[in-house]
Amino acid sequence: MVEARIRVIYGDTDQMGVVYHANYFRYFEFARGEYFRARGGSYRDVEREGLMLPVVEASIAYKSPARYDDVLLVHVRVSELKRASLTFHYDVRREGAPETLLCTGQTVHACVGRDGRPTRLPPVLVALLQMAV
């Protein structure tokens, strides 16, 4: 598991002063990038190999709202690794005592080549991701 820290900016909130629901997907994306970096790789490295990991499914269960200037802790881990796809799981919490669970979610990613066709996850990427499965 990797923890990414994000401070909510004013532009992330809606008229009610809470984080707009779709922004959590941006936080997930940020955490995925941190996940790769924490394991010695990057998404850019994946693209250099001619591969992409598009999101093919995404879900969130909201528990409590985040607000402007909150510091969010996004915990991300790989929960499933298949031949040509992987699933990330996320817990988003408000930093503080006690930490408050704000939402949980997951994204499923297909491994595709530059032509957009599904392809096997390369061994180097599997090894990087298996460190946490």
Domains defined along the chain, listed by start: 2-130 (3.10.129.10)
Three-class DSSP category at 3: strand
- Residue 131: pLDDT band with limits 50, 70, 90: low
Please state the rounded mean pLDDT for residues 93-107.
93
Of 14, 45, 91, 115, the active-site residue reads 14
Amino acid at 21: H
Whole-model pTM: value is 0.92
- Split at pLDDT 50, 70, 90, the class of 112 is very high
Question: How does the average pLDDT of the chain come out, rounded?
Answer: 93
Q: Tokens representing 94?
A: 């408000």
Active site residue 12: no
Q: Per-residue DSSP letters for 25-39?
A: HHHHHHHHHHHHHHT
